[in-house]
Amino acid sequence: MPLNPGNFVISEDNPCVNYLKQGENHLVLKDFASTPLYKSIKNDERKLFAENGIVSICGIKDNDNVIGLVLLTKKEKEKANDKDTGYDYDDYSFLNTVCTVGSMALKNASLFEHVAEREHLFSGMTAFIPTVILIKKKGIPNFCFISANTEKVLGLPYSFFQQHSPQDALRECIGREKAEKIILDFAVSPESGYNFDMPFVRPDNNEEHTIRCAFTGILTEGVISHYVYVLSDISEDIQAKELLKSSVEIAQNSNKAKGEFLSHMSHEIRTPMNSIAGLTYL
C-alpha cells in the first residue's frame, strides 16, 4: 500500500534507522521490540507502524548511511504461524538487492539533479555574455551543449545548431570551399586549438559582421572526449581599432602640416629680416 509521505514521517534518529546504520540490512519489528532500542521509539512512530501494519523494515543504504527505508506489511499469503511476517531468507535477499538498486537509482538521480542544475546555471549565464559556446561530444554528430545567446550574437536561432553538425553549420555560414579548408586545418591538431576570423552576414538583418572563432579539443585522460567551439562578434572591436588608427593618422598629418608651416614661416621671416639687418648696417 503506498504511503502518503505527508502523513508518514520517520525521524533520522529513529532507533530503527540507527540499527540499520550499524551494518544490518533489515529488521523484523516483533524481534526488534525485545531490544532496548525499541523502547526509545517515539509513540507517534510506533502508532504509525501499527496503523499501517508494518512488520519489517529494509534499509536503502549509501555505504553506511541510510538514505531511505522500505516498509513491509505481512505477505498476502502468510505462513501457518500468524505471528510470522511471512518473509523468509530468500525474500530478504531479494529485497536487499532491490534496496541496492534503489540506492544506485537515488544516487544517480541526485547526480543528475546536480548536473542539471549546474547546466541550467551555466546556460543562464551564457545568455548574457557576447560569446556563443558550443560543445560536441566526440563520436556524436550534433552539439550536446548550445549556449542560449546564439540569436543575440549571431542572429541564428537555437534550433539552427540543434539541426546542424559543426561542419554543416560552418559550410552554411561561410561557404563550402572555405569551410572545407578550415575543417582540414583543424583536424591536423585539434588538441592545440585553431583560431580564425570570418566575415559573416547576420540572417536576421543582413548586416555584415566579423566573427572570431576558436575551436579546440578537450582531453580526458590524454584522449580527446569533447570539442568546444567559441564564437565572438568582434565587429565593434575592429571598428574601434580602425577609428583609433584613423585618429592617429589625423594627428600625425596634423603634426606634419604644423612642422611644414613653421618651416615655411621661418624661411619667409628670415629673408626680410636679413634685408632689414643689412639696411640697418648701411
Q: Residue 206, SS3?
A: coil
pLDDT the model gives residue 80: 45
Looking at the predicted structure, is the pLDDT value of residue 192 above 70? yes
**Alpha-carbon torsion angle 16, 17, 23, 28, nearest 10:** 30
Q: Do 21 and 69 touch, CB atoms closer than 8 A?
A: no
pLDDT in tens, 215-259: 888 888 888 899 999 999 888 888 888 788 888 888 888 888 888
State which amino acid sits at residue 182: I
Q: Alpha carbon of 154 to those of 103, 145, 151, 209: distances in Å?
A: 45, 16, 5, 9
Alpha helices in 164-234 (DSSP H): 166-174, 176-188
Which of the listed ranges 2-6, 37-41, 129-133 does the model predict with the highest average pLDDT? 129-133
User: pTM score, two decimals?
Assistant: 0.53
Confidence of residue 160 (pLDDT cuts 50, 70, 90): very high
